[in-house]
Amino acid sequence: MNYTTQMDAAKKGIVTKEIEIVAEKERMDVNKLMELVAAGRVAIPANKKHKSISPEGVGEGLRTKINVNLGISKDCNCIDNELEKVKVALDMKAEAIMDLSCFGKTEEFRTKLINMSTAMIGTVPIYDAVGFYDRELASLTVKELLDVIEKHAKNGVDFMTIHAGINRETAAVFKRNKRLTNIVSRGGALMFAWMELNGKENPFYEHFDKVLDICEKYDVTISLGDACRPGSIADATDASQIKELMTLGELTKRAWERNVQVMIEGPGHMSLDEIQANMLLEKKLCHNAPFYVLGPLVTDVAPGYDHITSAIGGALAAASGADFLCYVTPAEHLRLPNLEDMKEGIIASKIAAHAGDIAKGIKGAREWDNAMSQARRELDWEKMFSLAMDPEKARRYREESKPEDEHTCTMCGKMCAVRNMNKVLNGENINVLRDDE
């Protein structure tokens, strides 16, 4: 039986190799997974032309996934540096990489990235359009903008951020309801500017069926972009954000009718007390489509530490229903992240995702922690390193400060509670001030 997309296959009861792989990774019954894909509650972004991919599922009942952003810009346009980041991101088991390149030889980099990546690849075509045509934004035609989407699909991109929710109606709501930080989404600002400069409707909204034609042909998952995501905690959960979210819900249904998979993008900057409600709003208004969030960053005053502000919000978001976390690095709001920034951002996001999975009761999440706790009780350092989220750093920290007693660490030495409890429970004496007999 033939099928066009993973959603089409699931609706027809066809177990694709991608569905089979994801079911095995997630320890989920394959029929249950097919039901979720058919209903749009899980997406499996896997372009037919991305041959090196190891498919992952995003959505209900699955592990929370993380995404790494990278790519070349006018100020930092070294392809080799970005490819080195790709290798490290894959080694660190990031499930997705978004190429946000906006200058120079974007297709050369994108093609190399797709060919080498086992992770799913995302892009934002509007970022690429100005550089691709080497013309100013206002002069780009509808056809040219749609052609960039098709070019990315042909290259093998698995999911694309399409800012279709910032239509003229949403833009009017934004203009009537002033914000502290206006529109901070790069793609959202570009689409808003294109509409204002041309006096026309957002082409991705007006010609959404043509976008769906492309996505259905290549099985590209649409990541419906949140142009009106809050860029400060003051703007969270405001009229613009909610108006756009309602529009994204309508577009989601249209995509599903064409068997095109959907993810919804979300905030942004948001205080802790608003996060849980926002996760509920997305699931309600967007019909339980997978939710992909940037952060949320829970305070605006920590530049240089926004991987931490993001991880705090990301953990609560994941625990409350978010399915996919976009990493944030210490360089957020300051500059293009370097390799070390990227590593810190990945670890922070992985911690947030895993903390959310424990709260959601995802299979295997708590067992990992229990295995670490047992290794700690047994003072099995090699086992602890093997279970650590960042084994290299854990091993390095221990090597940098060697204890007198190899079973302890230099924090407590022979006063180590674990060591002493093990000895007492085994009927042994505790020698804290002298060598063991």
What 3-state DSSP class applies to 297?
Answer: strand
**Residue 226 counted as an annotated binding residue:** yes
Q: Is there a binding annotation on residue 228?
A: yes
Q: CA distances (Å), 429 to each of 58, 413, 419, 422, 432, in order?
A: 53, 16, 11, 10, 10
The reply to whether 139 sits in an annotated binding site is no
Q: Please tell me whether 287 is known to bind a ligand.
A: no
Angle at 20 between CA 55 and CA 318, to 5 degrees: 55
Asked whether the beta carbons of 156 and 47 are under 8 A apart, the reply is yes
Instruction: Kindly give the residue spans of alpha helices, DSSP state H, lying in 92-179.
Output: 106-116, 125-133, 142-155, 168-176
415 known ligand binder: no
269 is in an annotated binding site: yes
Determine if residue 41 is labeled as part of a ligand binding site: no
Chain mean position to CA 304: 20
Q: Is 186 annotated as a binding residue?
A: yes
- DSSP string of 23-36, one letter each residue: HHHHT--HHHHHHH
Locate 197 and state its tokens: 């400069």
User: Which parts of 219-293 fold into alpha helices (H)?
Assistant: 239-257, 272-285
Query: Was 437 annotated as part of a binding site?
Result: no
Among candidates 171, 142, 166, 300, which has minimal Cα distance to 232? 300
Q: By the 8 A CB rule, do 57 and 26 touch?
A: yes
Residue 227 known to bind ligand: yes
The reply to whether 429 sits in an annotated binding site is: no
Angle (CA) 79-192-335 rounded to 5° is 35
Neighbours of 51 (CB within 10 A): 9
C-alpha dihedral sign at 35, 66, 250, 123: negative
Q: Is 434 annotated as a binding residue?
A: no
Token pair in block for residue 41 = 């509650």
Say if residue 412 carries a ligand binding annotation.
yes
Distance CA 21, CA 132 (A): 36
185 is in an annotated binding site: yes
Instruction: List the binding residues for [4Fe-4S] cluster.
Output: 409, 412, 416
Binding residues for Zn(2+): 269, 333
Annotated binding site: 69, 98, 127, 163, 185-187, 226-229, 265, 269, 292, 333, 409, 412, 416
Annotated binding site for substrate: 69, 98, 127, 163, 185-187, 226-229, 265, 292
